[in-house]
């Protein structure tokens, strides 16, 4: 008994289909994949990031977007970054960014490795993107990729609540203290002497 042929969607087909679905989906190799729900900590960082960016962008051409605004990958996939900045023409009826300039992902245990490698490589193929930001939810640490001339990328690791992420061409600085506002951090484990008794 032969199996049914699998219909693989184009990005346009997927974006049309997704408008009538419950929950968020991404398109991977032509097939829709449901996105897992986020925990409160993850969601708080996303909200803080949107507030920080939105307050600095003002009413200019570039707009901050939630994961309801999709990002098309040239090879055919469709991704939904936690936060993005679109500097293209605004279309009331569009469901994908016209010219995504910045994408921001808040890492989670289940998708951390995938976001840091597979999805990162996909984002680098989007011609309009100049910044890719990965936020660690558990410690004040950010990985910031910036596109250089000749399509090269540079990486910067930013740590500490007194640090910030600079997006100079957009006139934006994202203080880590603002991105992690309202959150506390677990103390890092202390190393003990061999006898297992901590020094006073």
Inside any domain, residue 10? no
Say which range, 28-32, 146-150, 177-181, 193-197, has the weakest mean pLDDT. 193-197
Which CATH number do you get for residue 157? 3.90.1570.10
- For the entire predicted model, the pTM comes to 0.89
Contact between 153 and 163 under an 8 Å Cβ cutoff? The reply is no
pLDDT range class, residue 171, cuts 50, 70, 90 = very high
Say which range, 2-16, 50-64, 68-82, 97-111, has the weakest mean pLDDT. 2-16
Inside any domain, residue 92? yes
Q: Give the pLDDT of residue 115.
A: 86
Is the confidence at residue 198, as pLDDT, over 80? Answer: no
Inside any domain, residue 70? yes
80 against 187, higher pLDDT: 80
Inside any domain, residue 23? no
Is the confidence at residue 190, as pLDDT, over 70? Answer: no
Q: Give the pLDDT of residue 200.
A: 45
Inside any domain, residue 124? yes
Inside any domain, residue 18? no
What is the rounded CA–CA span in Å between residue 35 and residue 91?
Answer: 25
Question: What total of structural domains would you count in the chain?
Answer: 1
Full residue range of the structural domain in which residue 170 is found: 38-179
Is the confidence at residue 191, as pLDDT, over 90? Answer: no
pLDDT tens, position by position, 78-87:
999 999 999 9
Inside any domain, residue 17? no
- In the chain, pLDDT over 90 holds for what percent of residues? 80
Strand ranges, E, within 63-190: 63-65, 71-72, 78-79, 83-86, 100-106, 131-136, 141-147, 153-159, 164-167, 172-175
State both tokens at 99. Answer: 């010219």
Inside any domain, residue 9? no
Q: Give the pLDDT of residue 193.
A: 58
């Amino acid at each position: 008994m032969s199996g049914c042929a699998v219909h693989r969607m184009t990005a346009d087909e997927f974006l049309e289909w997704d408008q009538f679905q419950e929950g968020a989906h991404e398109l991977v190799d032509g097939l829709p994949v449901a996105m897992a729900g986020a925990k409160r900590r993850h969601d708080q960082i996303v909200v803080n990031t949107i507030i920080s960016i939105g307050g600095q962008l003002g009413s200019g051409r570039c707009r901050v977007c939630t994961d309801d605004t999709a990002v098309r990958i040239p090879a055919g996939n469709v991704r939904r970054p936690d936060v993005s900045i679109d500097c293209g023409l605004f279309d009331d009826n569009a469901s994908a960014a016209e010219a995504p300039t910045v994408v921001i992902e808040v890492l989670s245990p289940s998708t951390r490795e995938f976001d840091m490698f597979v999805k990162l490589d996909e984002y680098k193929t989007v011609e309009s993107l100049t910044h890719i930001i990965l936020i660690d939810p558990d410690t004040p640490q950010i990985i910031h990729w910036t596109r250089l001339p000749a399509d090269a990328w540079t990486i910067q690791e930013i740590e500490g609540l007194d640090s910030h992420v600079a997006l100079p061409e957009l006139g934006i600085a994202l203080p880590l203290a603002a991105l992690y506002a309202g959150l506390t951090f677990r103390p890092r484990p202390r190393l003990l002497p061999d006898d297992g008794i901590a020094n006073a």
